[in-house]
Structure 1
Amino acid sequence: MSVPRQKLILLCLSLWITLNAHAQQTGHDTGVLQVGIQTGYRSENLRWSIAGNLQGQDPNIYSELIWKSVDGLLCAADVRWKVYRSLELHGHFSMATISGGRATDTDYHGDNRTDVSYYGYFDAGEGNLLSGDIQLGYRLNLGPRIVLIPAFGYGGDQQNLYLKAYEGNAPSTLNSSYTALWKGFLGSMTALIPFGNRWEVDPSIAYHQVVFDGTADWNLITTFQHPVSFRDHANGFGVVPACELLYHLRSHWAISLHGNYGWWKTGLGVDNLYLSNGTTSLTQYNGARRTGGEAGIGFRLTL
């Protein structure tokens, strides 16, 4: 038997009133769904090295790659959905297209970066920086309109980096690449703190426990295989504090300023070098270190 139209309308209206009343109790939202878009600027640094053998010797740093200030325009989007009562799902994705940056490649014969055998300086103004995660959080009302949201989830960050010729210092066909993937579980804490009727500040911090995988194609070295010349693997972590400042234009619209800065590091791992003769050479991966952050402006719609 179909439900009469009048009863269906009353049921939908009752549900909307209930959800709206629950949202108003938190002091922040007038709905159960938030959609945000942001744009801005992102810059990152990455460095890693390998040793001469699996024991981390001969020498302890054999080859070291450094990317500095790879940066570009950022575009991002996020969705926050109140699933049930105080439970909420939060998803975020961002992409920055790299337009600037530099990189160096240095090889050594001696321990502790002594007796340099090779040094290269390269253009790194190509590629992109990707980031995404999904989290399940619980809203805790701490006082008048102040909310704390602990959350747990899974995320990944990927740096697609390049080595290109710089002012003719290498063949124009140089197009070596390195993809650094940081993925794993994360825990975060976010506070929602209003000031007056229109302002709100949302500081947060996230801790990432990650598996790191690096994949390279050194396209001009004929003794290496292509398109995968070597792979790196290690375990690591990342810490990312952030803050967002919002100004509520209307009941459902807000403009925001946001920024974050992260520190990432791995432990020792393994570097797998794939040679063109079909053999694989193993050596110690000394680990990767990554820093970087972003700043920008955005809009938020609450439904």
Structure 2
Amino acid sequence: MKFCLFFFLFAISFSARPQSKGVYSKGNDKKNKVTLHFYGAYQTADFNWSIAGNSMGQNPNVLSEVKWKNIKGPGMGLDIRLNIWSPVFLKASYQRNFIKSGKVSDTDYASDNRTDPSYQAGLNSNEGLTYTYMAAGGYEFKINSFLKLSPFAGYLKSAQHLHLKDFNEETDPAIKNLNSTYQANWTGPLIGAEADFRFSNQLSLHSMVNYKQLKYNATADWNLIDAFAHPVSFRHTANGYGTAVLLQINFHFTSVLSVFARGNYSYSNTGKGTDELFLADGKEVQSQFNSATRQGAGLAAGIGLNL
């Protein structure tokens, strides 16, 4: 809260400087070398993965499947854009969200095509976090006084730290409660494009779309299964892809200070990969990792500074 207050006062102090008449005037295009967007956010997501019974993808073709639904929570983020030389720019972003609610199901199957379930559990997932950071460079094309287009390329990492817990948690510290964890990392290069539309000196619209080639790496600790090793019970690796879109509306008080609201949607998916199970006796067993799928949406609002 103290940081937010400091940031707001900092924004007001800059907005008090003498400004030119037009928010998007040519003079301001030259002077505004750095753009900052600081915001609060709320995000919801679904996520699932499954494995087969062996490395050939058989016996059965889906042995175990875990699905997280409606993983929700607040967060905050910061976007930075630096015009290093005329239309050439660098940009970076970071967002962190805290999971406050969600449900997860864990199901094992004895036969192919998700038939003959041998184990089913509906669990809680009200703890954990997600974060994403990105760094990229691009080139801005000023099409006319109304439209700017900015293709870019860079690198992204997005991580999920998820929990599987009982809904009725015991409070006795002597009792070992279910609190399994799954840490998933999505990393890789991305390409994308931004479009900025100027409707007036006070109102503008920003949109973005990107595509990512991703490497997926996840580790899990199934804490109540004594036959599994701890703290790493199994590991998943695969290759995949992802895409995201963003739409943001800006209201400019001055050429320096603005407020904005945005919405975003993202989707990521992997192909087949490897599931490595680590047993307590030191043995390792491999099977086919079928896929992982993640999709999410969010809303955010915050303050923008053009310096």
What is the identity, as a one-letter code, of the residue corresponding to 1:39? G
Structure 1 segment 9-88 matched on structure 2, within 5 A: 24-25=25-26, 30-88=31-89
Partners of 1:27 and 1:199 lie apart in 2 by: 16
Q: What's the counterpart of residue 183 of structure 2?
A: 179
Q: What's the counterpart of residue 143 of structure 1?
A: 144
Question: Which runs of 4 or more aligned residues in structure 1 lie more than 3 Å from their structure 2 counterparts after TM superposition?
Answer: 23-30
What is the identity, as a one-letter code, of the residue corresponding to 1:65? V
Percent of pairs identical after alignment?
34
What is the identity, as a one-letter code, of the residue corresponding to 1:222? D
Q: What's the counterpart of residue 111 of structure 2?
A: 110
Displacement after TM superposition at 1:24 (Å):
3.9
Q: What's the counterpart of residue 193 of structure 2?
A: 189
Partners of 2:67 and 2:234 lie apart in 1 by: 17
Q: What's the counterpart of residue 302 of structure 2?
A: 298
Partners of 2:255 and 2:210 lie apart in 1 by: 29
* Contact 2:69–2:104 (Cα < 8 Å) also in 1: yes
- TM-score w.r.t. length of structure 1: 0.89
Pair 1:266-2:240 in alignment: no
Choose 1 or 2 for highest CA Rg. Answer: 1
What is the identity, as a one-letter code, of the residue corresponding to 1:69? N
Residue number among 240, 256, 259 corresponding to 1:255 in the alignment: 259
Q: What's the counterpart of residue 16 of structure 1?
A: none
**1:30–1:243 distance in 2 versus 1, CA, 3 Å:** farther
Pair 1:152-2:153 in alignment: yes
Q: How many residues get paired?
A: 280
Partners of 1:209 and 1:249 lie apart in 2 by: 39
* Per-residue deviation, residues 119-166 of structure 1 (Å, max 9, x unmatched): 011110100010110010100011124110000000111010000111
Displacement after TM superposition at 1:84 (Å):
1.0
What is the identity, as a one-letter code, of the residue corresponding to 2:62? I
Displacement after TM superposition at 1:181 (Å):
0.5
* Contact 1:27–1:145 (Cα < 8 Å) also in 2: no
Partners of 1:29 and 1:111 lie apart in 2 by: 63
What is the identity, as a one-letter code, of the residue corresponding to 2:179? N
What is the identity, as a one-letter code, of the residue corresponding to 1:276? A
What is the identity, as a one-letter code, of the residue corresponding to 2:292? A
**Larger CA deviation: 137-146 vs 265-274:** 137-146
Pair 1:233-2:244 in alignment: no
What is the identity, as a one-letter code, of the residue corresponding to 2:306? T
Displacement after TM superposition at 1:249 (Å):
1.1
Partners of 1:134 and 1:244 lie apart in 2 by: 19
What is the identity, as a one-letter code, of the residue corresponding to 1:240? A
Structure 1: where are the runs of 5+ without partners?
Answer: 1-22
Q: What's the counterpart of residue 224 of structure 1?
A: 228
* Contact 2:244–2:264 (Cα < 8 Å) also in 1: yes
